[in-house]
Amino acid sequence: METPDFKRVFRGYDPEAVDQAWAETDRQLSEANAAHKELRLQINSLREQNSEWGNRLKQYNQIEKDLRDALLSAQRIANQVKDDATIQADELLNSARNESETLLSEAARISESMETEVETMLIEKRLEIIQLEEQIKGLAEQKTELQTQVNQAIRYLEMAKGSFSSNQSPLPLDKV
């Protein structure tokens, strides 16, 4: 607003110019008040928007914090699961090693036992073979002895036959 420049008239200022200035000032004041009211409304609207955007920002910040916490938690859980899986795999591997060592030990023990058993059976069979060979040798000797006796009996019979055919007297048994 500009300061009005009034003309001086008799007894003060020109009432028409003052009224006109007053009307202009009133109009400008009304416009300024309307603009001020509109600006206040805009300011209030902007404050509400700012408050709303601030609340949204707080919500987004909270969501971001929650997401970070969830991500950290997921990472911790993933690491824990990985560590647990590693421990479990190591335990399974150790268990499998121990079991394979036990099985190998047992197999070696059984193998040694069977080897000893086979060696024992082999020794027993060799002894049986030796005994059989001795029995065969004994039987061969008996056969030879019996063959000798059979041959003597055949000679004696032939001699007896020869003496019966020539009407001679038989030879005594002690001479055969």
E strand or H helix at 88: helix 15-165
Query: Residue 1 in contact with residue 28, Cβ under 8 Å?
Result: yes
Closest CA to 162 of 174, 171, 153: 171
Q: What are the extents of the domains in the chain?
A: 8-175
Residue 7 scores a pLDDT above 70:
no
**Token digits for 157?**
């019979």
pLDDT tens digits, 61-118: 999 999 999 999 999 999 999 999 999 999 999 999 999 999 999 999 999 999 999 9
pLDDT tens digits, 18-54: 888 888 888 988 999 999 999 999 999 999 999 999 9
How far is 82 from 89, CA to CA, in rounded Å? 10
pLDDT of residue 173: 53
Better pLDDT: 173 or 10: 10
Residue 6 scores a pLDDT above 90:
no
